[in-house]
Amino acid sequence: MGWWPLMGRRSRHGTAVAAALLLGAVAACAGPGGGPAAQSPRPSGPSGSTATGESAPERGFTLVASGDVLPHDSVIRRAREDSRGDGYDFRPMLAGVRSIVAEADLAICHMETVYGEEGDYRGYPTFTSPPQVARGLAATGYDACSTASNHSLDDGADGIERTLDALDTAGIRHSGSARTAEEAATPAWLKAGTARVAQLAYTYGTNGSPLPDGRPWAVALIDEKKIVADARAARKAGADVVVISLHWGTEWQTDPDERQLGLAKSLTASTTAGRPDIDLITGTHARVPQAYEKVNGTWVVYGMGAQIAGTMVNYSGRFDPRGNQGSIGRFTFSPPAKAGARWQVTKAEFVPQMMDIEAGRVVNLPGALTEEGAPEEYREAQEDISEAVLARGAAKDGLTMGR
């Protein structure tokens, strides 16, 4: 079908085919979901040294994170059209942000919905999406997705299993929902630069759907004590950087709510031996872009808004363009100044993006606005997103707009 093959899709991976084959063999030994064993072995001895004691320089990395992937009926129809009659193809829809995602060392998405049985695909209010979404995300360059959301149980335990199976097949790691208790207790383990990164994901709830019988671990719910305990366990298991993905907030509210503010403050204040337990918090769910803020020295993205969504109607029953707006956060992590210190974010950026619902495409707004004849709505959207993102004074802490 043209486009980008799943193997060797990103220049950042160098000899990607050989590496993918090697990683696939290692991951097979670790089982579904992957764990520490699924990553390259950590050098013995102090950080930055090899098993032979020779000095090996630490290398930093860039991480990008983006908002809700929420395929409404119109989105599913567009993917069907883009496939030219051969299933569903989400790659053209995401092509506009591929350069941002693929050029990062590590890219994290939010897969808000679950995947349905073949042919049983639908949008709002209970979503079951085509599993080809996973292929589109992988081809765009995503390495991992958070999967804990209020829609995680829209199709029960079967929906979770289909979703995680499809992500595994596409080579995307995941955190937030699980097929087994062991998987639920394991972060998404990732490698970037010379750092091992652990991603953990949680949601405020599941729209009233009860957790499946005998599977209280199927979806990770927000619990401050558990989040801290999980972060500390990941650090003990060898994580250099711990990323927490939270599905939280009040829908259609640009300002973070009190629970978001309180939880952000307490989570970023948690330390072990003077080192923060959490290195980055990324938020989803609110349907609209929300602020970035540095809290206790740690970056928090309260809400990244939408990446993929159909026409969005707010609680007043009116179309709300904010529901198709979002931001991609891009953070540059640098190695610690000394052993045992945290990896520091030395550059923080946001890239405004929107879902052009008429075109059926995700748009990198700063890039699109350099082109002659860009629609005025693109400029207005970028201004609205920037205002929301910077509303809590992140510019004074160095946050800038990227492209």
Q: What is the pLDDT of residue 185?
A: 97
Q: Which two tokens stand for residue 111?
A: 């897969």
Output b/e per residue, 185-200; b: 16+ Cβ within 10 A. ebbbbbbbbbbbbbbb
- 132-157 burial by CB neighbour count: b if 16+ within 10 A, else e? bbbbbbbbbbbbbbbbbbbbbbbbeb
Is residue 48 predicted with pLDDT exceeding 80?
Answer: no
What is the reported pLDDT for 57?
A: 86
Share of the chain above pLDDT 70, in %: 86
Q: Where are the domains of the chain?
A: 58-401
Mean pLDDT of 44-49: 38
- Mean per-residue pLDDT of the chain: 89
pLDDT score recorded for residue 53: 55
Q: How high is the pLDDT of residue 219?
A: 98
Confidence label for 55 from pLDDT (cuts 50, 70 and 90) = low
- Is residue 47 predicted with pLDDT exceeding 60? no
Residue-level pLDDT at 43: 33
pLDDT of residue 23: 34
Residue 88 CA to residue 161 CA, distance in Å, equals 20
pLDDT(2) > 50: no
The model's pTM: 0.88
> Residue 340 — pLDDT band, cuts 50, 70, 90?
confident
Calculate the alpha carbon distances from 182 to 31, 177, 178, 217, 299 in Å: 10, 11, 8, 9, 30
Predicted confidence at residue 49, as pLDDT, reads: 45
CATH number of 58-401: 3.60.21.10
Query: In angstroms, what CA-CA distances link 33 with 24, 36, 84, 181?
Result: 12, 10, 32, 11
CB 389 within 8 A of CB 289: yes
Question: What's the confidence (pLDDT) of residue 402?
Answer: 96
- Classify the C-alpha dihedral 374-380-385-387 as positive or negative: positive
62 pLDDT tier (thresholds 50, 70, 90): very high
Tell me which of 372 and 17 has the higher pLDDT. 372
The pLDDT of 355-382, averaged and rounded, is 97
* Two structure tokens written together for 225: 């004590």
pLDDT at 212 over 80: yes
